[in-house]
Chain A
Amino acid sequence: MPGQTLFDKIWARHVIADLGDDYALLHISRHLMHDGGGRGLQMIRDAGYSVRNPDLTFATFDHVISTEPGRTHETLKPHAARLYHMRDEAKRWGIKLFDLGEPGQGIVHVMGPEQGISLPGTLLVCGDSHTCTHGGVGAIAFGVGATEVIHVLATQSLVQRKPKRMRATFEGTRNPGVTPKDMILFLIGQIGTAGGTGFAVEYAGSAVRALEIEGRLTMCNLSIELGAKIGMVAPDEKTFAFLKGRPYAPTSALWDQAVADWRSLPSDSDAVFDVEVKVDMSRIVPQVTWGTSPEHVIAVTDTIPDPADAGDPDKQKSMQAALDYMGLVAGARLDQTRIDWAFIGSCTNGRLSDLRAAAEVAKGRKVASHVRAWVVPGSENVKRQAEAEGLDRIFLDAGFEWREPGCSMCLAVNGDTIAPGQRSVSTSNRNFVGRQGPGGRTHLASPAMTAAAAIAGRIADVRSI
């Protein structure tokens, strides 16, 4: 019998019942909720169910909250009613809610690992597609729909089909200016936004092992942009060091027991994956997207591709539509494109290491006069730590705005939007049509590249700053 993958081992632990056809009823060991899906708690009451395991569900506010500095009851309008309703419901059911201003509040995919709620070997779900982020600590984590959320709340289980297994192995060392964001964008560019559809993807290889946990979370975060619901990295000593002492991580004897177990989780050396992808790190330089899908990505120094060179007519059509929407022409250099906005934050790149990387570029420099630049920390703790290190001063001195934690302009559901036709460089995860506001144009890039663009006033190569 061949060895097992990391994914197989965690999946097997959570099978309550084999339902045939590769389907299983799975136990859910962690469930996270956010204010965008807070209606689930009302829906479960309306349906006459109850919350089976409030002890395994954790909630926070992130999607619809204002990120205005010094936010108040007033700035939380017009969505305050939703927040207060969720607060009441969470209390009634006995679900831990990380409230505004409280350590732990933040983007749900920043909060989970930060609090030690997301642990190796868990099966974690949340009503948000970027739940794949938590795979960075060695968990199976995936996003679910609203009805599946009800299923989890009522039964602490979920019916799922077992995906196939893919391994993406990154070998080599990072070139200057290359971050985890560039690594995953490069992979998406290589295999496309449907390249991972139907798979759980394990990121492996020397370049992934070399990453700190926050970088692994960033890579896993973009798995869904690869078409994969699940992305994961095997837990190792770095994972254990990252988690130790976190508020919800195990302690004393249980910690030792947990670590001993977690050491058994990595894929066996003879484990077989359905698909193997190899990435040579020497080929990766800083990436930026030019279009309206994360697969529309190129090296910052490249010219914008010509749809005529894509063989497939459907692909040509979608590339041309993207160019038209973005107001760009094939063959032009991307790094001369003038921008209006720079956004640093999100569940992709809103962690302390991201803010440090951006601050390093911003230090002693000034945001271009025509650019509005925001830094939105991923969580209350990230904000406090950044302020303790003086990162907020660096950003403010450089002309960035320093805001309160939340999802903000990543999906613009809280009213943080760019105007139609405006162009943004953003550390977020989706450059979809209208993602940062109707008619807005988004270029995805790393935190350092985004800071560089804010300063240059145009898309810029961080290596030349």
Chain B
Amino acid sequence: MDAFTVLDARAAPLMRQNVNTDIIIPIHRLRDVPQAELGAYAFEPWRYLPDGSENPEFFLHQPAYRGAQIVVAGDNFACGSSREGAVWAMMGMGVRCVIAPSFGPIFFNNCFQNGVLPIQLPRAEVEAIANELEAATRPGSNHEPRLSVDLQKREVVTPSGRRITFHVDGIRRDALLQGLNEVALTLTREAEIAAHQAKARASTPWLYPAA
């Protein structure tokens, strides 16, 4: 897994509520397309017109937001299906960080497994960031629609230079900062797992018919 430390990048607002993982990656693409190629189908139902051409209205097709690596989203982002392909598809488009008031719980965990940082901030704060990004795209603006995310400092810097502190659980932060592989880490705890399982086999033997 790639480490996540500092990301200074273009950011795009997608202030819709309840964007689900079926939208982020349709199931038939997940079924048929190799993981590394899913980016081409991220947000497919919104991203293309019926004739297959790009939908210019799609948020990441607007010139100011094209190539954004940070998405600023509405409540309950990526709810629904557990498909990790939603994270892979967004990564395939270059996204490494999502800021939202709340997330689908399985997507939230899946992000951390792939070096993507989900940042939860109060809704008013998320809306203020989205407003700043939009303002930065208007003619005459002195700013660019960019955010700087520093995981070490747990801080987002907005186009106007406002600094917003965020919380991220320590264990998740350490893993991202160092690009740690959770499976490899857990395998080093095999003795504890074995001891726990031996205890569980003794105290709840009916769960272990094969033992």
Contact = CB atoms under 8 A, between A and B. Distances in A.
Given A155-B193, A229-B105, A433-B45, A318 B18 contact: yes
Interface in B142-173: 169-171
B16 A318 contact: yes
A145 B197 contact: no
Interface string A167-191: 0000000000000000000000000
Given A49-B183, A155-B183, A143 B84 contact: no
B169 A150 contact: no
Nearest to A16: B196
A278 interface: no
B202 to A, nearest CB: 12
Contact of A197 (B83, B102, B210): B102
B53 to A, nearest CB: 16
Interface residues of A, number: 76
Contact of B189 (A16, A53, A148, A194): A16
Contacts of B106: 129, 142-145, 224, 229
Interface string B67-95: 00000001110011111110100000000
B80 A224 contact: yes
A55 B210 contact: yes
A84 interface: no
Contacts of B182: 147, 151, 159
Contacts of A295: 18
Contact of A151 (B18, B183, B206): B183
Interface stretch (A213-221, A252-260, A299-307, A331-339): A252-260
Interface in B11-46: 15-18, 20, 22-23, 26-28, 31, 45
Interface stretch (B2-10, B107-115, B131-139): B107-115
A71 interface: no
Contacts of A142: 106
Contacts of B204: 13, 29, 121, 258, 261
B104 interface: yes
A257 B205 contact: yes
A49 B114 CA distance: 18
B124 interface: no
Interface in A74-131: 79, 119, 121-122, 127-129
A272 interface: no
Given A16-B196, A129-B81, A193 B171 contact: no
A465 interface: no
B21 to A, nearest CB: 9
A224 B206 CA distance: 29
A23 B79 CA distance: 22
A413 B31 contact: yes
A224 to B, nearest CB: 7
B109 A145 contact: yes
A154 B110 contact: no
A248 B206 CA distance: 10
B140 interface: no
A315 B82 contact: no
A430 interface: yes
A147 B186 contact: no
Contacts of A257: 205-206
Contact of B169 (A23, A47, A52, A163): A23
Name, among A150, A255, A434, the residue most crowded by chain B CB atoms within 10 Å (CB to CB). A434
A357 interface: no
Interface string A194-226: 100110000000000000000000000000110
Given A49-B183, A148-B110, 15 more contacts: A19-B171, A142-B106, A145-B82, A151-B183, A151-B186, A154-B183, A156-B197, A193-B18, A229-B106, A255-B206, A257-B206, A261-B204, A314-B17, A411-B27, A413-B27
Interface of A: 13, 16-17, 19-23, 25, 27, 29-30, 36, 47, 49, 52-53, 55-56, 64, 79, 119, 121-122, 127-129, 142-148, 150-151, 154-157, 159-161, 163, 193-194, 197-198, 224-225, 227-229, 248, 250, 254-255, 257-258, 261, 293, 295, 314-315, 317-318, 321, 411-413, 430, 432-435, 438
Chain A to chain B: the 9 pairs with minimum beta-carbon distance, closest first: A250-B206, A147-B113, A145-B110, A194-B76, A145-B84, A55-B210, A258-B206, A146-B84, A143-B82
